[in-house]
Structure formats: C-alpha cells, structure tokens
Amino acid sequence: MDMQILFWTTGVSFVIALLLGPLFIPFLRRLKFGQAIRAEGPQGHQKKAGTPTMGGVIFLVAMAITAIKFSDLSSELWLLLFVTLAYGAVGFMDDYIKVALKRNLGLKARQKLIGQILVGVVLYVVMYYTGMIDMTISIPFINAQWDLGFFYLPFLVLIVIASSNAVNLTDGLDGLAAGTTAIAFGSYAVLAWWTSNMDVAIFCAAMVGGLIGFLVFNVHPAKVFMGDTGSLALGGALATVAILTKTEIWLVLIGGVFVVEVLSVIIQVISFQTFGKRLFKMSPLHHHFELLGWSEWRVVGTFWTAGLCLAVSALVLYLK
C-alpha cells in the first residue's frame, strides 16, 4: 500500500506540473523574464537568450501541493518544505535581480552564501530543539558510526550549501539538472520507503513527478529554464533528505554527477592558477564535452545514464 501511495504521489505531481507549464511559461514571457546568456559561455548558447527562466516554480508548486496532500504532515515533511522553499526563495531573489533589474550576475556571492548559511543553521536549530538531530554520521561499508558532536553543525551546513551549489553548477544544459535530480530523488524515494521514512519518501516521489512534468518543457530545445529558483531548491532538498535519512555520505554516490561537476570546476581553477593551463576546454564538465563537439542531447543523455548507474549502484549497496 505504501508503494502505491508513492506511485500516486508521483503521478499527481507530474500532472500538476504538466498543467502549470502552459499557464506559467507565457506569464514569464509577458513579464519578459528571459535568461541572459553570459558571453564567456559556449557560443552556441547565445541563441538561448530570452528563454523564460525561474521555471523552477513549476515543479516546486507541484511538489508542495502533492506532498502536503499525500503525507502525514510530519515534522520531517515540514522541514523538507522549509529548506526547499527557503533555498528556492534565495534563488528567486538571484533570478529576479538578473532578469528584472538586468544585473547579469544576480546576488553577490557573499549575499547568496549568507542566505544559504542561515537556512542551514535554522535547519540545525529546529532539528536540535525538536529532538530530531543525530550528531552521528554513518560510515558506509564498515557499519560504523562517527559522533561529530558540536561539529555536526558545520558539517550539516556544509552539506546543504555544497549540494545546492553543485546542482546549480550542473544546471547548464537543457534538461540536465532536472533529469539528474529526478533520478537522485527517485533513488531516495526507494531508500526512504525501505527505511520506513514514509513522509520523506512521499516528498521525494512528489519531487520526481514535478521534475518529470517540468522536463516536458525543459528538454532540448527548452521552452523554460528552472533558474536558481529551481537549482538551489533542488540541491538544498537533496541534502536535507540525506540528513533526515542519515545517508549523508551516500549522497556523494547518489549525487555523483553533481560531485564530478563541482570537482571539474575546482580542478580547472587549481590547474590554471598553479600551472597556467586549463585541464578542460571549459568547466563545469558538461561544457567540456560540448566543446569536444558532442551534441547537447548526447551530453545530457550521457550524464543522465551516469546518474542512473550511480543511483542504482548506491541503492544496491545500501539495501543488500
């Protein structure tokens, strides 16, 4: 019966997103909330200028409505909704500054980081004072627990910030971030169901349905982009799911595509600053493959496949 609820949750969220798209996308066009394309990116992306952004609202609304409808409204669900929508709000402000105020870089890096840290700290405080916090982390494969004590606070905040920024970096091609996060949330829906975290599983299922519905409008050629509104929210949500299910380390494997994208940026910066050479043609990594001549569909399909393999591998290893 529980699994049946997850299927219903996914389906209803998908339908809501599918219905919202044709209503919300023309609204964004009327407001002239079109994406500005940075000149230093791949030149082929310049034709995407003006595509409506902030489309993350579509799957966030679909997810929230469906999760509230099908869940038991537990503390875990409210925490997930809080972090997701709070990070979405930070992203929304960033997008709004870019498209409405015509400041292409959006929020200053310091402003965005402060917002991300504050949400992470609030998450920790609420979990601490409601007795939901567990200062230990599980070490995969050796069945060990590591008690971090007070240091769990910076660890928690770091995970949420790193995850949100990793998904944000991955959101560079049509359908790339939406597809890879849908796969990750699908994996977590099964994992949470297996460990009887039903409201967490329902949240993940609702996110999967919303993202698949959004992909109808976001696959190449995209009719709408999720913007930071969507990408920051997705990353924050993934991290919070990992925290609530005590699978913080497993997130590295389940979200392996996002980890690789971040590492490609870090490696590129270190290589250039140390040796004066770029290891990749462009970072994040998906741009490197684009500049090698791969079509956008091929890059996205390859990354989706990699994400699926990693997520399935994590599930098999975790559940065995």
From the annotation, which residues make up the binding site for Mg(2+)? Answer: 168, 228
* Residue 295 main-chain phi, psi, to 5 deg: -70, 160
Taking each helix axis from N to C end, the angle separating 75-99 and 152-170, rounded to the nearest 10 degrees, works out to 50
Tell me how crowded residue 211 is: count the other CB atoms within 10 A of its CB: 33
- Residue positions forming the annotated binding site: 168, 228
> Which residues does 282 contact at the CB level (< 8 Å), separation at least 6?
41, 42, 288, 290, 291
> Which residues does 253 contact at the CB level (< 8 Å), separation at least 6?
310, 313, 314, 317
Contact assessment for residue 138 and residue 124, using Cβ atoms and an 8 Å cutoff? no
Residue whose entry in the numeric block shows the structure tokens 């627990």: 145
Give me the residues paired with residue 145 across strands: 138
